[in-house]
Amino acid sequence: MLTDKHIIITGGGSGVGAEIARDFAQTGAKVTIFGRNEEKLKAQGHAYQVCDVTSVEQVQSAVQAAIEHHGPVDVAIANAGAAESVPFSKMSFDDLNKMLAVNLTGVFNLWQATLPSMKAGGWGRLIAVASTAGLKGYPYVSGYVAAKHAVVGLTRSVAIELGTSGVTANAICPGFIETPMLTRSINTIVAKTGMSNDDAEAALKKNNPQNRFIQTDEVAGTALWLCSDAARSVNGHALALSGGEI
């Protein structure tokens, strides 16, 4: 079903984004990945555009260039994200805005730039890689949690607006995923608390009843399913991949 469809994935240079790009390419889809690091993007072997998802001008320009290369966009997966840990009492307004910019505005920018293609074609998939932080609270990452909750709200509203268009909007909400971003989070915990690496990992895994980290292929597989005909009525949903945490 995805053969020759054009898929754009932000944050495609590593981790979840790179896994999604590989899996979609294997279906015969035309894949374009976005990111800020050209070296990492180039290493993935897909068409790419260098851009910062927080900039509406850069995203619009990158989407237009991608369309000129691969044609109209059929699927837009807003995967780029970042998490910073700081107690709320010490969080600055700038800290909050940074979390909102990459985690929320990045989704908004990509979806707005790609939606006209989908509406014109009468079919499309808007997908946000959010987090269980969009469904519950976690300590010391209130800015990230606020941004991911906003992504879930955006998804639900957009889905209703697009109900009869042939385009669906959904969010994937994984727990802690075993990626470079998780490694950085664990290193931060170790540095700030003096915990061992193993203890820091255990502290994060305990949220998951399966006592493990989510793997990138689970997120990619969920994105593929959302693009299948079997998921045509799944709209405005926030799918938790958390082993039963939520």
Residues annotated as catalytic are 144
Separation of alpha carbons 222 and 216, rounded Å: 10
Instruction: Please tell me the distance from the alpha carbon of residue 50 to that of residue 47, in angstroms, as a whole number.
Output: 10
Q: Which two tokens stand for residue 16?
A: 């979840």
Amino acid at 25: A
Whether 100 contacts 143, CB under 8 Å = yes
Q: Identify whether the C-beta of residue 23 lies closer than 8 Å to the C-beta of residue 77.
A: no
Instruction: State both tokens at 145.
Output: 């949690």
Residue count (the chain)? 246
Q: Tokens for 211?
A: 């006592």
The DSSP string of 55-113 is -HHHHHHHHHHHHHHH-S-SEEEE---------GGG--HHHHHHHHIIIIIHHHHHHHH
Question: Do strands 47-50 and 30-35 pair parallel, antiparallel, or not at all (unpaired)?
Answer: parallel
CA atoms within 13 A on the CB side of 209: 6
Q: What tokens appear for 28 in the block?
A: 């015969």
